[in-house]
Structure formats: structure tokens, C-alpha cells
Amino acid sequence: MSTKVTRTWTVNGEKKVVEVLPLRRLLDVLREDFGIKGTKEGCGEGECGACTILLDGQPVCSCLIGAGQILDGSEIMTVEGLEKTEGGRILQEAYMEKGAAQCGICIPGMLISSYALLNSVSDPDEALIRKSHAGNLCRCTGYEKIVEAIQLAAERWPTGISNIKHRTLIRHR
């Protein structure tokens, strides 16, 4: 039997303390323990990207990470945290203007991937946009309007607004 561990993180700018089984999925901690339900589950096995969140600036699938793997002091950002950042608001506006959200279920994860991308490369070309979002499945839009929204957000992206602790890594798949 595994025993619970205590973790202290910053989630969307707020300090959160949780006592949790180490293998409990971060997705469940967010949705069930914290009641932060913007992050969605589409597959539970790292394929759809609906559960994408930022962990210390890196986009990761929260369905694949055990809470115990996340160190004290880590910073987590979900779709609900976007509004508190300038870049996040720019992205939300652009997604709305371009009609990028249809059913909307993929959008929380998609937006997080966009945010991570623009924070590390603020003027990505289309190929990079597509590559960095290839892990986010959308069944409604055919992706065109999402790409257009990211391009629009990139145009409006001010310099030097990165909130990301460790600038990294665009996910490649």
C-alpha cells in the first residue's frame, strides 16, 4: 500500500496544499480535489491533449502524471489561469474572434499549448504552430480556425510578457 504524500504547489497563482496518493493523476487532483474543472479528459492515455496543462512552463498531459512526481514549489497553470495573464487574454480573444472553439472540449488543452508556444516563440511560422499542437486533437474544427487564431494572437503578442519559469520545449510528436 502506498501512503499519501503532501505537496505544496502554486496553481494558477494560488498556493495549494494537497495530501495525495503519489500515483493519483494530476488531472484528478485538479478536477476532483481542487474542483478546477476546466481541464478535460478525452482519453486518459496521453493521446488527445484535452488535459494539457503547464507544469513549470512546460505543456504536459495531466492524465499521465502522478501527483507524487510533482515537486513542492512547482507551478501549475490550467485554462482558468490564462485570464490572469496578458498573453492568455490575447489568446482567448483571438480564439473567440476566429471561431476557433466549436464544441469547445479540446479548447482548454489547445489554449495551453498555444500559450506555451507563444511564450517561447512569439512569431512561430505555420509549420511550428502545427507541430506544437499536433498532440491536441480536435474533432470539430479541422484545425484551420485554431491555426488562424494562434497566428492572430502571435501578431498581437507583446514582447517580454513571458510568465514561464523555464522557457522550453515545445512538445514534439
Q: Residue numbers of the site for other proteins (CB under 8 A)?
A: 35, 37-45, 47-48, 50, 78-80, 82-83, 91-92, 95-99, 101-108, 111, 129-131, 133-147
Nearer to ligand FES, 7 or 40 (CB): 40
Angstrom distance (rounded) from CA 63 to CA 126: 28
C-alpha cell at 73: 514549489
Alpha-carbon distance 164 to 54, whole Å?
A: 9
Cβ distance 169 to 58 under 8 Å?
A: yes
75-77 and 58-61 beta bridge pairing: unpaired
| DSSP string across 107-119 | HHHHHHHHHHHHH
Residue 141 binding ligand FES, by CB under 6 A = yes
Q: Which does 162 bind (CB under 5 to 8 A by kind): ligand FES, other proteins, none?
A: none
CB 107, CB 101: distance < 8 Å: yes
Which one of ligand FES, other proteins, none is in contact with 22 (Cβ closer than 5 to 8 A by kind)?
A: none
Site for ligand FES in 42-71 (CB under 6 A): 42-44, 46-51, 61, 63
167 binds ligand FES (CB under 6 A): no
The string over 124-146, giving b where at least 16 C-beta atoms fall within 10 Å of a residue's C-beta and e elsewhere, is beeeebebbbebbbbeebebebb
User: Cβ 145 to other proteins, closest distance in Å?
Assistant: 5
Could you tell me the smallest distance in angstroms from the CB atom of residue 72 to other proteins?
25
Nearest approach, Cβ of 28 to ligand FES (angstroms)? 11
* Minimal distance, residue 170 CB to other proteins, in Å: 13
* Binding residues vs ligand FES (CB under 6 A): 41-44, 46-51, 61, 63, 101-106, 138-141
